[in-house]
């Protein structure tokens, strides 16, 4: 069961049962059901191996598809015949360097800040946000097939991702959308054919990521 986005941020702190005492019966019933469903989601996720020990901080995010690459925020270059090409003019989409090698920068400043993400844990069971340092926008999921992931200026449930150990290679992690948790294509993945970063199955090779920590002294904002 996936909580639906209604335009308001999803609060991860649930009201204690005592808050329900003064509510009408119908509201108490609905609130109790909502608490149960959110608890069920949390339990189902805890059965997977999430990385709840990841420290908050700056990270260089690298994909398994090539030896030297990076996740960044920029303009996708998806062929016009593909559905995701409709967003090629948007300069604030998730991309990866694709066929351009990008070694780990010694210093992150100016344009290099668009290749850097501030990762923040928002729950004890491995739920995080990924804020791009250069754009100050948050990575978000999308339900549009083949479209590069958008970014958003504020934290909504679209921007919540579980960091899970990859089932095939534990050196890598999957970034699994909280909002799309019950969908088959719920993981952030680097496209095999272009610089787009799309939603795909966790079994997809492009869904494997390395999160490389970056010391604060390397970041010049």
The whole-number pLDDT of residue 25 equals 57
Same domain flag for 61 and 30? no
Counting the structural domains of the chain, the total is 2
Can you give the pTM of this predicted structure? 0.78
Same domain flag for 74 and 123? yes
The whole-number pLDDT of residue 83 equals 85
**CB hemisphere CA count around 170 (13 angstroms):** 4
CATH of the domain at 159: 2.80.10.50
Which structural domain range is residue 27 located in?
A: 17-46
**Where are the strands (E) in the chain, listed by range?**
57-63, 71-74, 93-96, 108-109, 117-121, 127-132, 138-139, 151-152, 161-165, 173-177, 187-190, 197-200, 209-214, 219-220
Same domain flag for 34 and 115? no
14-24 pLDDT, tens digit per residue, is: 333 343 344 45
The whole-number pLDDT of residue 51 equals 79
In a domain, 63, yes or no: yes
121-180 pLDDT, tens digit per residue, is: 999 888 999 999 999 999 999 999 999 999 999 999 999 999 999 999 999 999 999 999
Cα-flanking dihedrals φ and ψ of residue 121, to 5°?
Answer: -80, 135
The whole-number pLDDT of residue 53 equals 81
Same domain flag for 24 and 124? no
More confident residue, 18 or 9: 18
The whole-number pLDDT of residue 220 equals 96
Same domain flag for 174 and 94? yes
In a domain, 215, yes or no: yes
Residue 108 has pLDDT above 90, yes or no: yes
């Amino acid at each position: 069961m996936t909580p639906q986005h209604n335009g308001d941020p999803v609060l991860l702190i649930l009201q204690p049962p005592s808050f329900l005492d003064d509510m009408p019966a119908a509201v108490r019933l609905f609130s109790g059901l909502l608490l149960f469903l959110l608890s069920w989601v949390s339990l189902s996720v805890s059965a997977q191996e999430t990385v709840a020990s990841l420290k908050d901080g700056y990270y260089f995010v690298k994909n398994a598809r090539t030896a030297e690459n990076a996740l960044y925020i920029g303009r996708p270059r998806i062929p016009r015949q593909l559905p995701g090409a409709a967003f090629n003019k948007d300069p604030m989409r998730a991309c990866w360097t694709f066929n351009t090698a990008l070694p780990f920068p010694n210093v992150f400043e100016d344009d290099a800040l668009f290749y850097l993400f501030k990762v923040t844990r928002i729950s004890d069971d491995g739920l995080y946000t990924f804020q791009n340092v250069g754009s100050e926008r948050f990575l978000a999921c999308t339900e549009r097939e083949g479209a590069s992931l958008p970014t958003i200026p504020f934290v909504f449930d679209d921007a919540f991702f579980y960091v899970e150990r990859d089932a095939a290679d534990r050196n890598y992690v999957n970034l699994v959308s909280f909002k799309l948790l019950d969908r088959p294509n719920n993981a952030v993945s680097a496209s095999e054919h272009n610089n787009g970063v799309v939603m795909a199955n966790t079994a997809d090779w492009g869904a494997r990521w390395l999160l490389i920590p970056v010391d604060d002294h390397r970041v010049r904002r």
